[in-house]
Structure 1
Amino acid sequence: MFDFCINGAGMVGAATALGLARAGYSVALIEQRPPQPFSAEQPPDLRMSAISMASVNLLDELGAWSHIEAMRVRPYHGLSVWEHPDCRTDFVAQEVGYDLLGYFVENRIIQLGCHAALKSYDNVTWFSPARIEHIERNDTQPVQITLDDNSTLTCQWLIGADGAESQVRQAAGIGISGWQYQQQAMGITVQFDEPVDGITWQQFTPQGPRALLPMHENFASLIWYDTPDILKDLKRQSNAQIKESIVAHFPPLPGDFEVLNCAAFTLIRRHASQYVLPGVILVGDAAHTINPLAGQGVNLGFKDIKALLAVLSDKPDLASTTCLKMLQEDYEQPRQRDNALMMSAMDGFYSTFSNDVGPLKLLRNGLLKLAHHSGPVKQQVLKYAMGLS
């Protein structure tokens, strides 16, 4: 019998497995679709994340960051936010005594880095490629799992790290609250004729933000928020036409560029009513999804991992009611509060800027201009975004 079985070996699932293996637990890791191996010649993936310094510190502590950094990452040291160019806020890492705000990293690279680090542990058993066919759990017995090859696993705790449509969450009967936003977002990978500076920026428009996220070498990701119909029409265009649309609707970009790829995705807020039931724990997107406006999604997942590992660090009796109570009080409750607060903050920001109401427009531009000169308040916001407070 395993101590923990983790469904999902993505960024959060693999990092959770690392932390538990490092603590000496026996872990089964179920991976449905192994990631493509890394090659330096590959073009950048569309799916990428802004990794805060707190997340970098966690990944470094778990032994994964050196593997990630050896592939490709893009550090960034500045963040600019504005609606009108005269009313902008610039955040610079040096304002809080750091060289960097964080890194932009392709999701697959983070996943592969965690997988590489896991090879050092003989207390991790991989089931890959594999898919769960059936989960049987109750309040007193270990969890029984049947895989698609009819093999069975038994564990004290099944961890759902299997994303927004979590099979574990649904099997456990855990409800969710939330909604789909009116806007969608499109990620567009571009290649400039020269390297892009390590500054990310976001301009707000009534239709939604436009953002630039620097990547390795001359690559960058452009994020275009808009209505589903607009993005659907954009997706039908050729790369050359998409470039023309970008030039027409984005702030001036740093040089000439070529469009490589694009994909649109829906924006959905979800929050699980429970993160912990007897025998079941949810982490990352299985427990919560958030508007990606400030790039906090996967960083919240890494905060989940840190909190979970803290609860389990003293090796409690996993079958005891004491362990269940600790997980509910010291993992579920504080993480639910923190995640709900971040969700509400992003929704408030989203609602404030996604309109063209005159008085509100004046107010928000004034606030952005004020924030640029706010000193300690600005520094505290920056530290929170970096996950350091």
Structure 2
Amino acid sequence: MLSEQAVPIVRATLPVVGASLGDITDRFYAGMFAARPELLRDLFNRGNQASGDQRRALAGSIAGFAGALLDSPDTRPDVMLSRIAHKHASLGVTSEQYKVVHEHLFAAIVEVLGETVTPEVARAWDEVYWLMANALIALEARLYEETGAAEGGVRRPMEIVERHRETADTVSFALRHSDGRPTEPFRPGQYVSVRVELPDGARQIRQYSLSAAPGLPHWRITVKRVKGDPAGEVSTWLHAHARVGDTVEVSAPFGDLVLPEGDGPLLLASAGIGSTPMLAMLGHLAATGSHRDVTVVHADRSPADHAHREELRTLVDALPQGSLHLWYEEPGDATDARPGGADVTTLDVPPDVTAYLCGPLPFMRQVRGDLLSGGVAAAAVHYEVFGPDLWLGA
């Protein structure tokens, strides 16, 4: 909760700070990476930095958190904080790094806003920052404790024991601990971070959903090769170089978009490689003999581009109350799919459904909007973003 002194100052300056956040985050990252180049080399996603997605996500999270403090002073935006904390823990972010961020972020604020940043304004926004940072530090400490890892020490070597080409640009890898220990349990829908050393010496990290059910002898990830430079540098490296017998660094499982307990109806909607967390959820439901009403929606470019297509159908067929609805932009000869983009308005979706969405942002915005228009509660619609969350915790 903001102090009484800070509330009117933050309220008065939020429009100015918010309007300048793009410039502030640009200066912040430039200054921090100049002083600490190892952070860009070995922690931050260079592709997201090049595209500007990370800057927009940071700006949105700061503005969103400050707005939440003003609009609902007695509550915290825990959904947004939880999502960020899980991402940070999977990367191995430490509490000391929040001090580094603070130093360079506030230097950027002063540089951009100049005399607007009076001592009173600086103290008020310092409160905003540390309220958010300390909440995240506490959440991340709890996550590290739950995984049995020291702060930041979540990665371990894992051996690739299987490699399968799923489509022309998608490969799956089965992983096991190099020392022979069994893989840890995880909640269906969670992801791991994979770190690889690239030709220039950078040790870049990317997050991949666990794409098979818990309880199997190995973990599985499915990696789509992302076109572009440097956006796809880790996926490209894995496609080109990762082979059975090789070792990669993999984090413990994290992520809060997980299958809920209970017997209520579910809607699992995905597009493209967004199907991967849904496969783990469906695998778990099938393995536990679930009789839940499960509606599965998937959209893709074509049958040939749909990774794990036959596996998805097999899993849905194993559910007594499961139904599968496919849409392909180019269906070709497929008789089990409709042409074009997914349209959940054509389905009989129960109003008390719990929905999980994963895929490109335009796809998720469309599906979410259609569900809300159809009477599904906003709190019942959950989503996973592969990359910085540009929905700003919505």
Q: By the TM > 0.5 criterion, same fold?
A: no
TM-score range normalised by the length of the shorter chain? under 0.3
Task: Indicate the structure with greater helix content.
Answer: 2
Instruction: Output the TM-score relative to the length of structure 1.
Output: 0.26
